[in-house]
């Protein structure tokens, strides 16, 4: 399976990487293509922000293309592309598990089984320089949450608890994609996608959408 990681200009510059652009068709703008995950390609948009003005502590924000599932990767030193890909793989699965545990819609044993199966999916990583403008707004919102919460707590770098709490909060909020009226919850779309790539039939899904949302209202 192809793992397509799309970096903004800011992150590309920070990584000091000479990444290729996504192929452009005649009449299309360069480096602003829409991303879409499917059973062959798993797409993420990545951006980097300073935790405070000119701070050496930074946060890489990664947002999955279909679900808008968002995770945070704190950094204070340069990473290689391989290191960043590994961090993302670990962080999104950890955030997925933590969110599902809070919602209490799936037994811990089934969460562990899901993560085990996901870890066995062979990912062929590809990097490109590109910014999906429809995802940029979600990333900007996530950036505000990070910087404001750090400022309120007088912190320069994220704690594990802060990173986890913010990820759970954002991934359990109802969202809307630009030019579409129907709202959705990132955690639900991410679970749908995970089970699609694992070829799990709809009738065998490990959760019930209504139960997820019901449990969410109880925990908030």
Q: Which residue has the higher pLDDT, 125 or 27?
A: 125
Mean pLDDT of 193-208: 74
Beta-strand (E) ranges in the chain? 2-7, 41-50, 58-64, 70-75, 124-129, 175-176, 183-184
Supply the pLDDT for residue 190. 95
For 2-38, what is each residue's pLDDT tens digit? 999 999 999 999 999 989 988 765 555 666 788 999 9
**Residue 104 confidence class, pLDDT cut points 50, 70, 90:** confident
Supply the pLDDT for residue 146. 95
Per the structure, the count of domains in the chain is 1
CB 82 within 8 A of CB 158: no
Joined tokens for residue 107? 């037994």
Question: Residue 7's beta-bridge partner residues?
Answer: 46, 129
Q: Is the pLDDT of residue 95 over 80?
A: yes
Asked which of 73-77, 102-106, 142-146, 170-174 is least confident by mean pLDDT, the reply is 102-106
Percent of the chain with pLDDT over 70: 85
Asked which of 132-141, 189-198, 205-214 is least confident by mean pLDDT, the reply is 205-214
Q: Is the pLDDT of residue 212 over 80?
A: no
Q: In what order do the strands lie in the sheet with 70-75?
A: 70-75, 58-64, 41-50, 2-7, 124-129
Supply the pLDDT for residue 205. 62
For 136-160, what is each residue's pLDDT tens digit? 999 999 999 999 999 999 999 999 9
**Residue 220 confidence class, pLDDT cut points 50, 70, 90:** very low
Q: Which residue has the higher pLDDT, 202 or 9?
A: 9
Joined tokens for residue 181? 């009226």
Phi then psi dihedrals of residue 66, to 5 deg = -85, -50
Domain span at 20: 2-219
Q: What is the distance of C-alpha 70 from the center of its chain?
A: 3
Q: Is the pLDDT of residue 219 over 50?
A: no
């Amino acid at each position: 399976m192809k793992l397509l990681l799309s970096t903004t200009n800011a992150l590309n510059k920070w990584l000091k990487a000479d990444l290729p652009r996504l192929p452009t068709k005649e009449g299309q703008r360069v480096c602003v293509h829409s991303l879409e995950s499917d059973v062959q390609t798993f797409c993420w948009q990545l951006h980097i922000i300073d935790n405070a003005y000119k701070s050496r502590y930074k946060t890489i924000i990664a947002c999955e293309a279909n679900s808008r599932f968002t995770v945070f990767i704190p950094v204070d030193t340069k990473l290689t592309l391989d290191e960043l890909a590994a961090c993302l793989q670990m962080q999104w699965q950890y955030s997925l598990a933590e969110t599902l545990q809070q919602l209490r819609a799936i037994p811990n044993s089934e969460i562990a089984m899901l993560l085990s199966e996901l870890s066995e999916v062979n990912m062929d990583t590809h990097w490109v320089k590109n910014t999906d403008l429809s995802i940029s707004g979600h990333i900007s919102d996530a950036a505000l949450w990070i910087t404001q919460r750090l400022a309120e707590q007088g912190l320069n770098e994220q704690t594990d608890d802060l990173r986890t709490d913010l990820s759970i909060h954002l991934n359990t909020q109802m969202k809307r994609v630009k030019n579409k009226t129907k709202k959705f919850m990132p955690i639900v779309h991410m679970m749908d996608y995970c089970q699609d790539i694992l070829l799990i039939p709809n009738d065998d899904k490990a959760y019930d959408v209504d139960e997820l949302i019901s449990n969410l209202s109880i925990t908030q």
